[in-house]
């Protein structure tokens, strides 16, 4: 940056613009709603900073120097651009928007919240695009702050600190199997639960134990897990086509026509799903609109 800019008060440029328009200190002061001595003092500082008299006495007021004449149009354009940049953000118009949203989400939140919302988003904002990205918990905060993501959905227990957040819903688990599963014809006891062939989701891949198994172990019990999959949607499909059962989040289990549910015989804690976003986007009108659409979809 040029040294003169570092020493320059922006108000001096506004005063110079008024002086170049009016070519009269008194009228420029009136235009700026300032006292005439104040404008005279500012003109003196401008002359010193720019090393040019800028305005000289003339037969009918003041006349600009060559330097002042050369500054007139660039200064007007620069102040207009700055005024536009600092103006309040225009309201977001979804019908005319063209934007790509990048959202990190788990299989659960993408399936139960984001993809059902797509039709509504497309209807209101046909020019937008939605990129659902695999959630990488260790990188989530960095990706949001670094302009790689616009939003993320994550469970409260794993949410990165330092991000804006909003609770979307609290999820619970249901004992789930295919429609007509003989074991689910009546309430399943804890003993019977441990005897059933079961499946689970292992986010890290290949695991055959979860919090449920730790809770059972505290009671001296163990269950039979015979299938491990990486996603809840895969697990739901596996249950429909087999006699396996699983503890499935209610939003997935209840939405699938091929599944039936009942409360589990063991109290397994659910989880809170949060909407996360960075401070840099908190007041952005377009971002605010998207967040409100996601939240309002849960009350529909």
Residues 18 and 22: their CA atoms lie apart, in Å, by 6
Pick the range with the lowest mean pLDDT from 51-60, 85-94, 128-137, 186-195.
Answer: 85-94
Domain with CATH 3.40.190.10 in the chain: 99-169+277-297, 173-269
Residues 268 and 218: their CA atoms lie apart, in Å, by 13
Residues 92 and 76: their CA atoms lie apart, in Å, by 28
What b/e string do you get for 181-200 counting C-beta neighbours within 10 Å, with b at 16 or more? beebeeebeeeebbebebbb
Multiple choice CATH, 173-269, 3.50.30.30, 3.40.190.10, 3.40.50.1820, 3.40.50.300: 3.40.190.10
Domain with CATH 1.10.10.10 in the chain: 3-86
Residue 4 in this model has a pLDDT that exceeds 70: no
CB atoms under 10 Å from CB of 9, counted, come to 12
Is the distance from CB of 171 to CB of 153 less than 8 angstroms? no
**Across 80-103, average pLDDT:** 85
Domain 99-169+277-297 has CATH 2.40.50.140: no
Residues 296 and 188: their CA atoms lie apart, in Å, by 36
Predicted confidence at residue 177, as pLDDT, reads: 98
Domain 3-86 has CATH 1.10.10.10: yes
Predicted confidence at residue 227, as pLDDT, reads: 97
Q: For the whole model, what pTM was predicted?
A: 0.73
Residues 96 and 124: their CA atoms lie apart, in Å, by 9
Predicted confidence at residue 206, as pLDDT, reads: 83
Looking only at Cα atoms, what is the longest distance across the chain?
106
Residue with the bigger pLDDT between 151 and 203: it is 151
**Across 134-158, average pLDDT:** 91
């Amino acid at each position: 940056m040029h040294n003169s800019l570092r020493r320059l008060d922006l108000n001096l440029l506004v005063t110079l613009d008024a002086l170049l328009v009016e070519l009269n200190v008194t009228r420029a002061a009136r235009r700026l709603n300032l006292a005439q001595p104040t404008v005279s003092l500012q003109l003196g500082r401008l002359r010193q900073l720019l090393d040019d008299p800028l305005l000289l006495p003339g037969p009918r007021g003041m006349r600009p120097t060559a330097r002042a004449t050369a500054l007139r149009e660039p200064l007007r354009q620069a102040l207009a651009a700055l005024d536009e940049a600092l103006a309040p953000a225009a309201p977001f118009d979804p019908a005319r928007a063209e934007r790509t949203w990048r959202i990190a989400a788990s299989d659960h939140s993408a399936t139960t919240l984001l993809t059902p919302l797509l039709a509504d988003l497309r209807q209101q904002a046909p020019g937008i695009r939605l990129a659902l990205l695999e959630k990488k918990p260790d990188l989530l905060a960095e990706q949001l702050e670094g302009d790689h993501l616009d939003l993320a959905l994550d469970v409260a227990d794993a949410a990165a600190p330092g991000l804006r957040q909003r609770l979307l819903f609290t999820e619970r688990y249901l004992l789930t199997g295919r429609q007509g599963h003989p074991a689910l014809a009546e309430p399943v006891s804890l003993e019977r639960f441990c005897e059933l062939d079961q499946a689970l989701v292992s986010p890290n891949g290949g695991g055959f134990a979860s919090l449920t198994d730790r809770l059972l172990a505290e009671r001296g019990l163990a269950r039979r897990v015979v299938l491990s999959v990486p996603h809840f949607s895969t697990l739901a499909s596996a249950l429909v086509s087999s006699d396996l059962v699983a503890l499935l989040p209610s939003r997935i289990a209840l939405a699938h026509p091929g599944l039936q549910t009942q409360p589990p015989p063991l109290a397994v804690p659910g989880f809170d799903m949060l909407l996360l976003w960075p401070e840099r986007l908190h007041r952005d009108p377009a971002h605010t609109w998207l967040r409100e659409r996601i939240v309002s979809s849960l009350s529909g």
